Structures are given as structure tokens and as C-alpha cells.
Amino acid sequence: MKQFILSLAVMLMAVSCSQKTDSKALVLYYSQTGTTAAVALQIADKLGADIEEITVVNPYNGSYQETIQRCMEERESGNLPEVNPIKANLDDYDVIFFGYPIWFGTCALPAISFLKTVDFSGKTIVPFCTFGSGGLLDGIKEVKAAQPAAIVLDGYGVRAARINAMPAEVDRFLKENGFLEGEFEKPGDFSAVRPATEEEAAIFDAAVGTYPMIQAKAKNVCSRAINGGTEYIFEAEAPAGPGPAMPGAMKIYVLDMDGQDPEFTQVVR
């Protein structure tokens, strides 16, 4: 009980940060179907930052299946798509918000290709991405590997299916990281990991639904109270079998907000 009251107190503590609001920021992004572009526009709008799209010399404008096929061939051959030079002068910026969709568990190939053409040494990179189910952490690892002399911050990622939640999440992300002044709520720590109860397993099942890439059952869970609901991290295991789901262990983040259906926010493998 004492711990609960404590974590509630921390959660309700309003925090204000402003240490990075003076830096000059550029929002650079690649987007094939417009979802990452929406996040990029939101960030630029909130910060009043310059924004530029990364484009590919030979665009991926086929169907989803054609894009998957081309991308698989390019990954196997190592022939990354050529990107057009950007117009912005990178010397003018301290902070680069760098956005991309997740393809095959990491940054989309045009973003990887672009990172090989620039030198972000000494600059701060803030990665952001959109995805079907997840890939935020592996995408950030890819950015760090490509730009080892840059300061790469924790990024923001959102499922394409949850893009309506993005404006509020971006606002919070920018405040939490000191790019925007203002108050935000800081949730408490997650509880210790415990076996999921039947009720929690039902929340997991409702959140994951029939999502084809996740054919898993909840095993363990930890949780924390957030404003208006509960956030869970479920540990789950998917068996090998037919269908598109990848077998193996995974962590699935779930939001269960009052009056709304539970939804998963990302899968971490």
C-alpha cells in the first residue's frame, strides 16, 4: 500500500524541463506510405523546426508485396537504394530528429542508406519511427552503429494502427526530453515481474486480438499505474508453427485505459 501511494505521488508529480529548447533542430525523415511523415510533421510543428523528407532515386511505389520483395532482394545483395542529396545544410543544426518506418525489424533501407551519406559527429540524433508491431530499439541500435560519433537519444515509436494517439505522445516525448517546455506526468516504476493472472491474460488476449504476427500466450507480467489506466509489459512465448508469426520469446507493451479496449503499443523481441 505504501509503495502504491509512493508511486502514485511520483506519477502525479508535474515536471517541467527546458534544457534543450534553445538548440536548432532539423526534422529529417523517410516515409513510404505517409505514417512516419505524420509524426515528422507533428514534431516540426510542435518545435517550429525545419523539416525535410529523404527521397529515394528509384522510389518504392509498388504494392506492399512488391516493396517486401524488392527490399528482401536489396537486403540479400547489400545493394542499398540510392537516396537523393538533401537541401538542408547540416552545419546549421545541433539536433536532428531522424524518422523512418521499421522494415524487417530495423530502419527502412532508405534511412540506412542515407545515414551512410552524412556525418552527424557531435550532433544529437533523436530517432523516431512507425511500425506495424515494433522495432524501436533495434532501429535505434542501427542508427547508433551508423553514426558512432553522434549522441543518439532514446527515441519515440508508434504503431501505425495507433497513429491517432501520436500527437499527445509526441507532445509528452518532447517535454520529457526537454525539447518543449511544459508539464507532463511521470509514471512510477513498473512492479516486479509475476505470473499473469487469468484476468491479466484476458487483457493481453484482448490487446493482441488476431494480430497475425503475434500468436502468443501471456506468461509473466509487470505493471504500473498511469493517468487514466494501467500499463503492462507482458512476457509471452510464441510456438513455432504455420503462419507469419515469428516463434520465440517477446515482451509486449499493453495499455489498458479506463473505458477503452486494451491495445498493444509495441512488441520487443
Ligand X SMILES: Cc1cc2nc3c(=O)[nH]c(=O)nc-3n(C[C@H](O)[C@H](O)[C@H](O)COP(=O)(O)O)c2cc1C
Stretch of 18-26, 48-56, 103-111, 116-124 contacting ligand X, by CB under 6 A: 103-111
Stretch of 7-15, 49-57, 102-110, 170-178 contacting ligand X, by CB under 6 A: 102-110
Task: Return the residue of 88, 137, 160, 193 that touches ligand X, per CB under 6 A.
Answer: 160
Stretch of 45-53, 101-109, 177-185, 256-264 contacting ligand X, by CB under 6 A: 101-109
Task: Return the residue of 20, 27, 28, 32 that touches ligand X, per CB under 6 A.
Answer: 32
Tell me if 110 contacts ligand X by CB under 6 A.
no
Smallest gap, in angstroms, from Cβ of residue 39 to ligand X? 8
Q: CA-CA distance, 114 to 60, in Å (whole number)?
A: 15
Between 137 and 193, name the residue whose CB sits nearer to ligand X. Answer: 137
Tell me if 232 contacts ligand X by CB under 6 A.
no
* Near ligand X in 6-25, by CB under 6 A: none
Stretch of 7-15, 62-70, 179-187, 220-228 contacting ligand X, by CB under 6 A: 62-70
Tell me if 97 contacts ligand X by CB under 6 A.
no
Q: Are 16 and 181 in contact (CB under 8 A)?
A: yes
* Near ligand X in 111-140, by CB under 6 A: 130-135
Task: Return the residue of 56, 71, 174, 180 that touches ligand X, per CB under 6 A.
Answer: 71
Smallest gap, in angstroms, from Cβ of residue 8 to ligand X? 33
Which residues are near ligand X by CB under 6 A? 31-37, 64, 67-68, 71, 101-105, 130-135, 160
